[in-house]
Amino acid sequence: MMRNRCITIGRLIKLNQGLSCRCRRGTTSVLALMISMLVMILLMATMVLTIADIEQTEDYARNKKTMQASDSGIEHGEIVLAHAISSFNMPAAKDEGDIDQYAIDADSNDTETQLSLLFDTGEYFQNELYVGTEPDASATTESTGDLNVGYAADINVDAVKVDLPDESDISHRHVFYYDYEIASQGASAVGEQANRTTRLERGSFEVEVKRPSFATYGYFTQSMKNQFEHQLVFFDGEVYDGPTHVNSAPPEGRAGFYGSATFNGPFTAVQERYEDSWLGGDANPIFNDSVTWGVDPIDLPENGWSQLRASIGDYDNVADKTEPSVGWEQYLIEWMNLPIGTTELSQGVYYTPNYNSEPDLMGGIMVWGNAADVSLSLGSFGEQVMTITMSNDDGGEFDGDHTWVFREIGGNTFVSVDGAAETMYNGSLNGLIHVEGNINSLGGGGTSAADIEENYALTVSATQDIYITDHITYEVSPVDDPDVENILGIFSSGGNIMLAEEAPYNLNLQATVMAASANHGVGAEGLVVGTGYDYNYPYKENWNLLGGLIENKNQTTGVFYSNGHRTGYNWNFTYDERFLEGKAPPYFPYVTKFVMNVQNAKETEWGRKFYD
């Protein structure tokens, strides 16, 4: 019984197994069909997605290429704009009248004349870009397979305003303001599919036009020869930080190098190449900035008429290079409103009309005749003090020995003559002392204290020789504070500037110094005897100049003999970096050529617009 039950169960089991097998075969067929359909669906979806992905990838590529093309148009426009500005070198601007015409055009928004500030930009740019055209086959810049890419750019430059120079500005500085817009449309196409992108750049820039001051130079020499036509050299160990220029070429003059002088600023020379230089002492000059040979020579000023006119306030004619038709003496008599019938100008110091009897200043200080002494110092309140002494013998208004002391406080000028009570005059002096003659002694206050007040700018000018007898220093060094205002220029229009025999050892002079008339320059008084040098002249160590030196022909400040013996001064120059930013002493001589500087070019807005 038990065995049969087991068999039966076993059969049943077998039977159930058979039934079970039959059911699985049916289910497999259905599942296979479903899986096949699912696979087909997936394959179809994958194909659809793949096609869509390919189209998306192509569209992304077109968009990317389109944006790159529009960016290229912007970059191209920037290059063309920069080229237009840099090419605009004002060929017609030979004098201040031409620059004034540019200003008139800018003020009237007249951009059609030849003297408009920039060229007719539409015509100029038309030759450079695909202006006003759609980027199509004619403007295509790239073609890769079926992909065509191009751009078209449009540039507009609008004059905004112009700043005119102050009447006393000897550099005749104008600043012109412009707005510009560069619109670039990029496009890429595959067959009939195309993408386009427009990109805008808006910005502004300023164009400064002026005559640069000679104070820009750290060292400027006409010929690198001294009064005996001996070759001068940039000597081993000397360091020149500012712009250096040699203004002649063989046979008139040439650069000379001995050992390793270092030039940290731009070096320019009229001679065609370095090999034309005088070379000695294993010459190996170190140029750490640009070096340019074969530049055009720079004209040097022939007189001090600009300084004379500015000293009496004749600002309208300060750049006039011609002598008055009535002669200088009569011109001064008339301008200074001296009494009718005056035919000779008395030696003396002039600063207001009618023998200094009126309350308003003319401009600066004009000295007619030799100045025995010009001393610069600070007063008890820290104000600038200028003392001028003369010994006159012409029997005129200021005959005899006289001393004028000038102080500026609170926007007014106080003057004491020969120790008498001060007289107050309206306003401040214009920063110019001009001497029609020699200055026999120019120095500081004779103490270790500073001599030029931190907010004071001054030029001391003379038509003949100037003798430096003492240290002259700033209250605040521009090395410590590059924004400080104290600045000094020393200029001789027709003589030498001499470091006097009584000048101290290690002379400290903080100024830019210029003696650039024919055969004149800077020298040490007494070092030259006859046609040679005084071998027994003391070695006075360093001439420490903080500023710059411009000269025509050096008058010998020091001699280095082959046996190692030295006399006079070594040069130890530090360039006043403020000069590179355009700062200069008032009414210091300027370069006759106008130059143009572009400033503050910057984008003010970026924009993109996408469309099909």
Mean pLDDT of 589-595: 81
Whole-number pLDDT of residue 449? 87
Whole-number pLDDT of residue 175? 84
Question: At CA 432, angle to CA 546 and CA 315, rounded to 5?
Answer: 130
Look-up of token digits 């924004």: 483
Whole-number pLDDT of residue 380? 92
| Cβ-based neighbours of 583, under 8 Å, separated by 6 or more | 215, 487
| Cβ-based neighbours of 222, under 8 Å, separated by 6 or more | 247, 248, 253, 300, 516, 551, 552, 553
- Say whether pLDDT at 583 is over 50: yes
Identify the band that residue 154 occupies on the pLDDT scale cut at 50, 70 and 90.
confident
The percentage of the chain sitting over the pLDDT mark of 70, rounded to a whole number, equals 78
Residue 83, SS3?
helix
Look-up of token digits 């009309």: 353
- Say whether pLDDT at 53 is over 80: no
Identify the band that residue 302 occupies on the pLDDT scale cut at 50, 70 and 90.
confident
Whole-number pLDDT of residue 137? 33
Q: Output 124 or 516, whichever has higher pLDDT.
A: 516
| Distance separating alpha carbons of residues 208 and 595, to the nearest angstrom | 8
| Distance separating alpha carbons of residues 390 and 439, to the nearest angstrom | 10
- Say whether pLDDT at 52 is over 60: no
- DSSP state for residue 559 in the 8-state scheme: E
Q: From the centroid of its chain, how far is CA 289?
A: 15
For residue range 418-470, list pLDDT tens digits in order.
Answer: 999 999 999 999 999 999 999 999 999 887 889 999 999 999 999 999 999 99
- Say whether pLDDT at 75 is over 90: no
478 closest CA partner among 411, 431, 548, 429: 548
Identify the band that residue 56 occupies on the pLDDT scale cut at 50, 70 and 90.
low
Task: Please give the mean pLDDT across all residues of the chain.
Answer: 82
422: tokens are 């001060």
Quick one: CA dihedral 105, 110, 112, 117, positive or negative?
positive
441: tokens are 């002694």
Mean pLDDT of 512-540: 95
Look-up of token digits 């004009």: 366
459 closest CA partner among 354, 585, 335: 585
For residue range 358-378, list pLDDT tens digits in order.
Answer: 999 999 999 999 999 999 999
Identify the band that residue 167 occupies on the pLDDT scale cut at 50, 70 and 90.
confident
**Residue spans of alpha helices (H) in 88-197:** 96-107, 121-126
Identify the band that residue 292 occupies on the pLDDT scale cut at 50, 70 and 90.
very high
Amino acid at 183: A
Whole-number pLDDT of residue 260? 96
Number of helices (H), then strands (E), belonging to the chain: the values are 6, 34
Note whether 587 and 307 are within 8 A (CB): yes
120 closest CA partner among 137, 105, 104, 139: 105
450: tokens are 């500073």
For residue range 464-492, list pLDDT tens digits in order.
Answer: 999 999 999 999 999 999 999 999 999 99
| Distance separating alpha carbons of residues 60 and 51, to the nearest angstrom | 14
Question: At CA 205, angle to CA 199 and CA 206, rounded to 5?
Answer: 165
Mean pLDDT of 591-607: 63
Q: What is the DSSP string of 398-465?
A: T-EEEEEEEEEETTEEEEEETTPPPEEEBS---SEEEEES-EEEEE--SSSS-SB-TT-EEEEEESS-
Q: Report which secondary-structure segment, H or E, holds 335.
A: helix 328-335
Note whether 595 and 567 are within 8 A (CB): no
Mean pLDDT of 261-270: 95
Whole-number pLDDT of residue 389? 98
Note whether 493 and 303 are within 8 A (CB): yes
- Say whether pLDDT at 599 is over 90: no
Identify the band that residue 141 occupies on the pLDDT scale cut at 50, 70 and 90.
very low
Mean pLDDT of 505-531: 95
Pairing type for strands 595-611 and 256-258 reads: unpaired
Q: Tell me the pTM.
A: 0.75
Note whether 451 and 378 are within 8 A (CB): yes
For residue range 94-123, list pLDDT tens digits in order.
Answer: 566 667 766 776 666 555 544 345 543 333
Note whether 559 and 523 are within 8 A (CB): no
- Say whether pLDDT at 251 is over 50: yes
